[in-house]
Chain A
Amino acid sequence: MRYVVWGLIVLLIIAHQDIWFWDDTTLVFGFMPITLLYHAGISVAAGFAWWLATIFCWPSPEQLDPAAYAEAHVAPNQVAGGGSVNVEQGGRA
């Protein structure tokens, strides 16, 4: 799902280049220029895509605070030395 969400963001960036409405003066509902409505839709879609990102792509605690993660999962003498860090595979803080 993580890749789907990032794919959606990329799709939004591509959809933002709407060359297909470049020359279109249609007024939707009689007052709204179609280009403006389309880009307002892009803004709403961006809100939705970012909502999905907060659900499926939210950084893990180890990404937000790598040092705390290392401290919790590595022998104290190895962290204190500041040298190479040996980490349990797949462990989570």
Chain B
Amino acid sequence: MIPIWIVIAYLFILLVLGGAASRLFRGTSQDYMLASHSIGPFLLLMSLFGTTMTAFALVGSTGEAYTEGVGVYGLLASSSGIIHSLCFFLIGLRVWGFARRYGYRTQIQFFRDRLESDKFGLLLFPILVGLVIPYLLIGVIASGSVISAVTEGAFTDSFAQYDYGIPPWLGSLVISIVVLIYVFFGGMRGTAWANAFQTMVFMVLGVVTFVIIANRLGESQPGYDAQASPGGPIAGAIHGMKSLSERVLNENPTKLKRDVDQQDRTQYEQEYERWEALAEYDFATRRLERKVLTSEQQTAAHAAFKPRMPGWERVAEALYARDHELIELSIPERNRARVLQDDRVLPDPMPDDREGLWQSELLRPSREAVEHQESSRPFLERVWVAIKSLWSPRPYTHTLSEFPRIENIAETRSLALFGPDGSNRIGHPNAPLDADDPDGERKWTRKRAAGIYRATHWAPEEPHGMDPWEFLTYMFIPFSVGMFPHLFQHWLTAKSANSFKLPVVAHPIFIMLTWVPCIMLGLWATSAMWEGRALIPPHFPPNAILGAMVQRLTGPVLTGFLTAGILAAIMSSLDSQFLCVGSIFTNDFVTHYARKDRFSDKQVVLMARLFVVGIVAVTYFFSLFEHRRVFVLGIWTFSGFASLFPLVFAAVYWRRLTKLGAYAGVLTTIGLWLWFFSESNYGSDTKYTVFGLQPVATMFVASAVAMVLVSLVTPPPSDATIAKFFPPKRK
């Protein structure tokens, strides 16, 4: 229960901060939405940094480093350090100047004025809100998941289906209400204060967690030389880091670079062959109900195998059957065996060779594996295959990854296997597995059982590198910051232009301080040992890795503090987004179309507050459904915002930008976004590229080209508008 009390105390502090901010509230809508332009450099830095860094900065970065390796920092963090500051400098500073002069409170007000078009606001309004909502949902859902994960086993009898912890729906509800309260009462000032506090919390706790984990985990690695340790927390941590990083170098060198290491490739191919044997053995014995091994052969198989994971007996039998060539299956049967073992959906009807090599060639694990196989052929053979394909195109090789995996199958099957109707291993994580041995192994949580099921049934994870072109074009994504409506609103809170200097300079450094420790933890998680076993088993959900490391390697107090830190990162984005959507509804919709002086300033504040309540309620409602899709949407919403960057850049720097040019740019972005999104199977194909590049690259360039071409052939903006937004040309 200690982590729960720490989180409750933390949430209480936030409410106090919101209450304190509300005491300074001046009662005007200007103050509620923009804190009366009173935010100085430090608060602006903290609120901009806290808003751009979501839970992804702590939880996601560790998980991504675990999955993709060290290149993740360059892919997502160092590029953001350069581009975010570029956006603050080139866009934020200028729009702040315009907003101070012309009283804008939202992005749409600026565009309506700059483009001399009221209807442009109607086009932009649903696009901005539509792109922000999935981003909001990610925060709300993530907060519930984090709270649920760290409170496992906190209750004795309640919430058994949530591993005796707080259910995600309840965690999300509590966080939504806390954010709502301090945004409702504190407005932008409360948001900025809370952001500053929360940003400090997650940065400090990130570093503390890193040092403690490095120390403890380093000591437990095979080959750790305790005698050579210099002692002291920092020196000890460095000594531990060496043993951890060396282990990654020896066990998973691919994670330390952006290409696949041959050692990892060879190891993977061996593991995949073992898995194929298991798939075929299971198919023959369970689906076809054949007797493959005699009881003597089974005994011999067990004797020759070193037991490790649950279900090792079947692995031993499968390998024995493979080595003695005892499994007789046709190629289509062997392909079916692989698809079923990996819990994927079998095609109906089954494909024949006209639709690819299903009947006559074995499935490969992925398209990357096919390409690797092709590239390992001798050069002349590859040339010959290429020439031959000119008059006789070769049917494509089917891959395992082209068949979708059945949703929630690991949870369902693990419950059947290890639940009360199976081996009865699932239960309260503090209860002993064996009642006669109260000090022995504990019962498994449902999450752990699902993890064990995945690790023992599914195909091994294929090592993969990064494509340099993808790496290059990922750099377009941070341009989204130039068009985020909630950041736009934060820019407008600045007290003076000079307030921007500190955020512009410190933002890249803050990114480094937050991300580097998390990346290191994710790398070590790929290879570290703990109590004689792998710390993180295969197929472990990447976003749960940081939480799992903290839970296993630190005490409940630090677990509570780190949970508060993760929630801080989530809430520091959520609050700005809620306030911003409330402001957009109030300013760009209601008051914009109402008769002048229809509403008093007090009524506008009330309206903004009610819209905030409404948007929190709607977001929470949506968060109760369809979780997976929302996370997939994350990168797509960023791509959409990034592709609108040419519009805001041109609006600030290009006199010749016209209303119709802006329409062309926005419609091109949205048209391509919808097309690519549907082509990627609504985000399910996470490897989807356009011309081998990230889709955002094509959308960004196409949007800019359409905007420029149409602007050049349509009448320029009026002289009055030019004079309003641009310094006069020198003669």
Q: Which residues of B contact A83 (CB under 8 A)?
A: 719-720
Contact, CB under 8 Å: A31 / B506: no
Is A33's CB within 8 Å of the partner chain B? Answer: yes
Q: Which residues of A contact B249 (CB under 8 A)?
A: 25, 27
Q: Which chain A residue lies CB-closest to B253?
A: A25
The answer, among A17, A23, A36, A58, for a CB contact under 8 Å with B471, is: A17
CA A68 to CA B727, docked complex, whole Å: 10
If A16-B79, A23-B259, A87-B730 touch, whether A44 touches B512 (CB-CB below 8 Å) is yes
Q: Which residues of B contact A18 (CB under 8 A)?
A: 74
Contact, CB under 8 Å: B70 / A35: yes
Contact, CB under 8 Å: A70 / B78: no
Taking CB atoms and an 8 Å cut-off, the chain A residues in 9-66 that contact chain B are 9, 12-13, 16-19, 21-25, 27, 29-33, 35-36, 39-40, 42-44, 46-47, 50-51, 53-54, 57-60, 62-66
Contact, CB under 8 Å: A54 / B509: no
Q: Which chain A residue lies CB-closest to B523?
A: A33
Contact, CB under 8 Å: B723 / A30: no
Q: Which residues of A contact B286 (CB under 8 A)?
A: none
A68 to chain B, nearest CB (A): 7
Query: Which of B92-100, B382-390, B595-603, B692-700 participates in binding chain A?
Result: B92-100
Q: Which residues of B contact A57 (CB under 8 A)?
A: 89
Q: Which residues of A contact B78 (CB under 8 A)?
A: 16, 39-40, 42-43, 46
B221 to chain A, nearest CB (A): 12
A6 to chain B, nearest CB (A): 10
If A17-B468, A54-B504 touch, whether A33 touches B70 (CB-CB below 8 Å) is yes
Taking CB atoms and an 8 Å cut-off, the chain B residues in 489-515 that contact chain A are 497, 501, 504-509, 511-512
B327 to chain A, nearest CB (A): 39
As a 0/1 sequence over residues 74 to 93 of chain A, the CB contacts with chain B under 8 angstroms (1 = contact) are: 10000100111111011000
Is A67's CB within 8 Å of the partner chain B? Answer: yes
CA A66 to CA B652, docked complex, whole Å: 12
Contact, CB under 8 Å: A59 / B93: yes
Taking CB atoms and an 8 Å cut-off, the chain B residues in 65-121 that contact chain A are 70-71, 73-74, 77-79, 81-82, 85-86, 89, 93-94, 96-97, 100-101
Contact, CB under 8 Å: B723 / A82: yes
Q: Which residues of B contact A51 (CB under 8 A)?
A: 505
As a 0/1 sequence over residues 706 to 730 of chain B, the CB contacts with chain A under 8 angstroms (1 = contact) are: 0000000000001110011111111
B588 to chain A, nearest CB (A): 22
Contact, CB under 8 Å: A43 / B94: no
A52 to chain B, nearest CB (A): 9
Contact, CB under 8 Å: A40 / B242: no
If A40-B73, A64-B93, A65-B97 touch, whether A27 touches B728 (CB-CB below 8 Å) is no
Contact, CB under 8 Å: A47 / B471: no
Contact, CB under 8 Å: B519 / A36: yes
CA A30 to CA B392, docked complex, whole Å: 53
Contact, CB under 8 Å: A43 / B77: yes
Contact, CB under 8 Å: A9 / B82: yes
CA A45 to CA B253, docked complex, whole Å: 28
A62 to chain B, nearest CB (A): 4
The answer, among A29, A35, A43, for a CB contact under 8 Å with B512, is: A43
| Given A27-B246, A47-B509; 16 other pairs, CB 8 A cutoff | A16-B79, A21-B257, A22-B257, A25-B256, A25-B261, A30-B242, A31-B244, A47-B505, A57-B89, A63-B97, A66-B724, A66-B726, A67-B724, A82-B719, A87-B729, A90-B730
What are 20 pairs between A and B in contact, CB < 8 Å?
Answer: A13-B475, A16-B74, A23-B258, A23-B259, A30-B241, A31-B242, A35-B257, A36-B516, A36-B519, A39-B77, A40-B78, A43-B509, A47-B505, A47-B507, A53-B89, A64-B94, A87-B729, A87-B730, A87-B731, A90-B730
